[in-house]
């Protein structure tokens, strides 16, 4: 998907594309920067294995991994993985590099992964975030995500669990 932007603040063009094996070094770099910036120990999510082979966790047929490019430069990512509950998936690793923030690219990525999940036949999307990430929470709320009970054991403090029904 390519989008032409008309806002003066915006870059000339950005693209959202599915990641494949040829782009794994970009995915790994973005995931590593995400984890570094988050500043939390996520060993309980097996992130070491995730960094070794992102497609194992997020690849087809049940997962998806999207990359955003601005003017041809890697700018962000988002992924989805299936959850054990039937027709339910989880949004993961929504991240935009600092130099590309302010262009609403986080929303574009989040909307793209929601659409991808819908197209894949999922009925519900879950996510978790941290209460200190207020801009992320506000984005998710604007997109129709609402608070929900914990759907897995996340030992971090201040975890916010959210869900969104997906419509076809």
Name the pLDDT band for 40 (thresholds 50, 70, 90): low
As given in the structure block, the two tokens for residue 150 are: 């914990």
What residues contact 165, with CB distance under 8 A and at least 6 apart?
123, 124, 144
Residue 28 domain-assigned (yes or no): yes
Residue 6 reports pLDDT greater than 80: no
Which residue's structure tokens are 């992964």? 113
What percentage of the chain reaches a pLDDT higher than 70?
85
Residue 157 domain-assigned (yes or no): no
The alpha-helical segments, DSSP class H, found in the chain are 24-38, 47-52, 54-58, 105-119, 134-142
Residue 87 domain-assigned (yes or no): yes
Q: What is residue 160's three-state secondary structure? A: strand
Whether cis (ω within 30° of 0) applies to the bond prior to 61 is yes
Q: What is residue 90's three-state secondary structure? A: strand
Residue 112 domain-assigned (yes or no): yes
Residue 131 domain-assigned (yes or no): no
As given in the structure block, the two tokens for residue 142 are: 């604007």
Q: Once rounded to an integer, what is the mean pLDDT over residues 48-53?
A: 76
Q: Over the Cα atoms of the chain, what is R_g?
A: 15
Q: How many CB atoms lie within 10 A of CB 132?
A: 10
CATH of the domain at 69: 3.40.630.30
Instruction: Indicate the number of domains in the chain.
Output: 1
Q: What is the DSSP letter of 30?
A: H
CA–CA–CA angle 75, 79, 12 (5° rounding): 25
Distance CA 71, CA 56 (A): 29
pLDDT digits (tens, 9 = 90+) for 90-133: 999 999 999 998 889 999 999 999 999 999 999 999 999 989 88
pTM of the model: 0.87
Residue 64 domain-assigned (yes or no): yes
The range of the structural domain enclosing residue 80 comes to 2-121
Q: How many CB atoms lie within 10 A of CB 165?
A: 10
Residue 104 domain-assigned (yes or no): yes
Residue 156 domain-assigned (yes or no): no
pLDDT digits (tens, 9 = 90+) for 69-85: 999 999 999 999 999 99
Mean pLDDT of the chain: 87
With beta carbons less than 8 A apart as the criterion, state whether 89 and 83 touch. yes
């Amino acid at each position: 998907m390519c989008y032409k932007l008309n806002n003066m603040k915006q870059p000339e063009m950005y693209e959202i594309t599915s990641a494949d094996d040829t782009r794994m070094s970009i995915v790994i770099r973005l995931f590593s920067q995400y984890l570094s910036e988050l500043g939390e120990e996520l060993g309980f999510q097996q992130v070491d294995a995730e960094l070794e082979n992102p497609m194992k966790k997020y690849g087809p047929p049940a997962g998806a991994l999207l990359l955003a490019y601005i003017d041809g430069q890697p700018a962000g990512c988002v992924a989805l993985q299936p959850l054990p509950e039937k027709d339910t998936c989880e949004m993961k690793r929504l991240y935009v590099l600092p130099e590309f923030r302010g262009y609403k690219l986080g929303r574009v990525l989040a909307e793209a992964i929601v659409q991808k999940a819908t197209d894949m036949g999922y009925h519900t999307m879950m996510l978790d975030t941290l209460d200190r990430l207020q801009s992320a929470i506000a984005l998710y709320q604007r997109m129709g995500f609402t608070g929900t009970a914990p759907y897995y054991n996340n030992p971090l403090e201040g975890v916010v669990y959210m869900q969104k029904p997906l419509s076809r």
